[in-house]
A and B are shown apart, each in its own frame.
Chain A
Amino acid sequence: MDDSRRSFLKFAGISALGLGGVSILTGLKPGAVTAADTASEPLYKNTEKALTAERWGMVVDTRKLTRSLCDKMVAACHKTHNVPDLDNDRHTIKWLWTDGFEHIFPMKHDQYLAERLHGLPILSLCNQCNNPPCVQACPTQATFQREDGIVMMDFHRCIGCRFCMAACPYGSRSFNFRDPRPAIKEENPDFPTRMKGVVEKCNFCAERLAEGKMPACVEVSEGALVFGDLEDPNSEIRKVLRENYAIRRKQSLGTNPSVYYII
């Protein structure tokens, strides 16, 4: 390696350290979250109590959804993850939100749709696809997939090209068009806040799983959400899927989502 290349790499390394330092200053718990210099390193260090799975999945039981329950789940998610509450519709950040059946399942919309589904809020979140197009699109591996299937964002590596947003067929990604921090109502010190110019999305509460806790939305879901290991035949989620007919969003696109909906 010649000198100029070495010094360039050194410079790059120092820059990376600098960015890590910034994140600690902004309220990141050192140790709980690593700066993850390479995508293969885990972003969250598992504690002894950690919940693990071969492939995490979620079932949304739409029969149990109500407006107030959905609001509660969205609030829990957004509070946990310091999602800002921005008034400009163009700048909105959403991790978990609701939409009508005809929007969540545009290809399954039907004139004679069951009465129950009219006006019913249906939860939308990152599908944590097993074959994620966003990971394929990302030019820096800032979006990457963990071995347990969770598609993660490395906020420190994202260059803000928004290619992943174009690639996602579910509109599940948000971009920080402005500094989100002033718009965070009540900051949760256990999760990092973001800076302007980076993409973010639902992470299946990877940081909570690492500490042995269920995802924030699941915790308050009153049984409307079932979370577990899709590869474990004895898991609760597999039992629910065995006993109920469930559909997935835009399955024909081959992204293989890990979020199922019981209609």
Chain B
Amino acid sequence: MLEKALRGSKGYWVWLLALLAVIGVGFGVYLRQLNFGLGITGMSRDVSWGFYIAQFTFLVGVAASAVMLVIPYYLHDYKKFGKITVLGEFLAVSSVIMCLLFIIADLGQPMRLFNVLIHPTPYSMLFWDMIVLNGYLLLNIVIGWNVLDAERNDVPPPQWVKPLIYLSIPWAISIHTVTAFLYCGLPGRGFWLTAVLAPRFLASAFAAGPAFLILLAFIVRKFANYDVGREQIQTLAKIVTYGAIANIFFFLCEVFVAVYSQIPEHTAHLQYLFFGLEGHGVLVPWMWTSIFLMITAIILLVIPAARKNEAVLGVACVAIFVGIWIDKGLGMISGGFIPNPLHHVREYVPTVPEIMITIAIYATGFLILTILYKVVVGVKQETGE
């Protein structure tokens, strides 16, 4: 089926070449990082994880959100999602690949990556994160590809795929749960030391992922002349609404526990993020923007008339996606490190090389996504769906 990605309009090829150019530039910068070390980033002794790990955390959520299509389609037999489920699974594939690339970009000694396999360490959460991420990648490639291939040949998918589909449901939950466990099992990091972190990660994922998928559906409709259907988009929009509300609710639970208990190790991080601490507050405007975007989007989404207007829905989805990206891709990781365990406030700002490498990894994800979506749309148009 891959041959479908080899025939495309001029616009398609220009887009691919543009992505390749961005990847090329970013790879050049990465070689510089490889040569100099992670010192070219804005990370420090105090904020030892930065932009890369934050993007990884955010994208795990986007990947996990595919389950919001798989559950209705396969578990509740919501047949109308047949037009979009594979798109969700392939979004998961490209997201997980980006996650893995961000982890590699973040390693001080990437050539020793396989030490994680050579010396497996079951009490390290990172070991389990590697297992669940790679497993989820494999599951989604196998499931997505086989289901699509069966559809193309107008036959039911092979029987052995079904158990894998059911397995992929808890597996999707596991990738974001284990990713939350990377943070929330650490002593002395009050911001992350909360049992609600994994649920909150999942809630935000179930908002940001489907919101992005709605936007992708609009793009596919406009540029590839493939319509996943109005009703399907509206169903996704409701999922986004519930996810976004749950995310804000969990966040408020966090705020209550920290602020009402007044335990300094827990309040200090929130104070830093939203009001600044000891004269430092580089993230303050960002965090309030994030809150503003998420609240605005929720208001737009809960009003049926607004949600049903696709232009408004598009705006709400962008707001949700950007709002959650700021929350997880900027605040979540930095906020956990600031103030540091010795209660010094040392801020973190990503550097230009760091941002260029990040953009290149996103471009790689979009390249993979474009090719996969080209195949899907090609097959769907061929079968006349």
Contacts and interface: CB of A to CB of B under 8 A. Distances in A.
Contacts of A165: 45, 48
B102 to A, nearest CB: 12
Interface string A53-94: 000000000000000000000000000000000001111111
Given A90-B39, A90-B43, A106 B121 contact: no
A253 B107 contact: no
B16 to A, nearest CB: 33
B107 A197 contact: yes
B77 to A, nearest CB: 41
Given A137-B186, A159-B113, A197-B108, A175 B343 contact: no
B245 to A, nearest CB: 30
A166 B125 CA distance: 12
Nearest to B339: A106
A97 B248 CA distance: 42
Contact of A166 (B109, B186, B342): B186
B44 interface: yes
A104 to B, nearest CB: 7
A99 interface: yes
A197 B340 CA distance: 21
Interface residues of A, number: 53
B187 A175 contact: no
Contacts of B37: 176-179, 196-197
Contacts of B49: 162, 166
Contacts of B109: 158-160, 195, 197-198
B114 interface: yes
A106 to B, nearest CB: 4
Nearest to B190: A169
A165 B336 CA distance: 12
A245 to B, nearest CB: 23
Contacts of B187: 133, 167, 169, 250, 253-255
A39 interface: yes
Nearest to A250: B188
B119 A166 contact: no
Interface string B149-192: 00000000000000000000000000000000011001111000
Interface residues of B, number: 47
A253 B109 CA distance: 31
A142 interface: yes
Q: Which of B41, B42, B113, B126 is packed against the most chain A CB atoms within 10 Å?
A: B126
Contacts of B188: 133, 168-170, 250, 253
Contacts, number: 153
B327 interface: no
A106 B106 CA distance: 30
B124 A163 contact: yes
Q: Which of B36, B108, B110, B340 is packed against the most chain A CB atoms within 10 Å?
A: B108
Interface string B113-142: 111101101011111001000000000000
B119 A102 contact: no
B379 interface: no
Contact of B108 (A137, A141, A158): A158
Contacts of A195: 109
B126 A161 contact: yes
B341 interface: yes
A21 interface: no
A196 B344 CA distance: 25
Contacts of B310: none
A129 to B, nearest CB: 10
A161 B43 CA distance: 13
B227 interface: no
A163 B342 CA distance: 18
B126 A137 contact: yes
Contacts of B39: 88, 90-91, 177-178, 196
B277 to A, nearest CB: 13
Interface in A143-195: 157-163, 165-171, 174-179, 195
A12 interface: yes
Interface in A114-139: 124, 133, 136-139
23 contacts: A90-B39, A99-B342, A104-B342, A133-B186, A137-B186, A138-B121, A140-B118, A160-B38, A160-B108, A161-B126, A162-B49, A162-B106, A165-B45, A165-B48, A166-B48, A168-B341, A169-B187, A171-B45, A171-B46, A177-B39, A196-B36, A196-B38, A255-B187
Interface of A: 12, 39, 88-94, 99, 102-104, 106-107, 124, 133, 136-142, 157-163, 165-171, 174-179, 195-199, 250, 253-255
Report, nearest first, the 6 A-B pairs whose CB atoms are least far apart: A160-B108, A169-B188, A197-B108, A196-B37, A177-B39, A90-B44
Given A160-B112, A171-B45, 11 more contacts: A90-B44, A91-B45, A93-B45, A106-B343, A136-B123, A137-B125, A139-B115, A159-B116, A161-B108, A162-B108, A171-B342
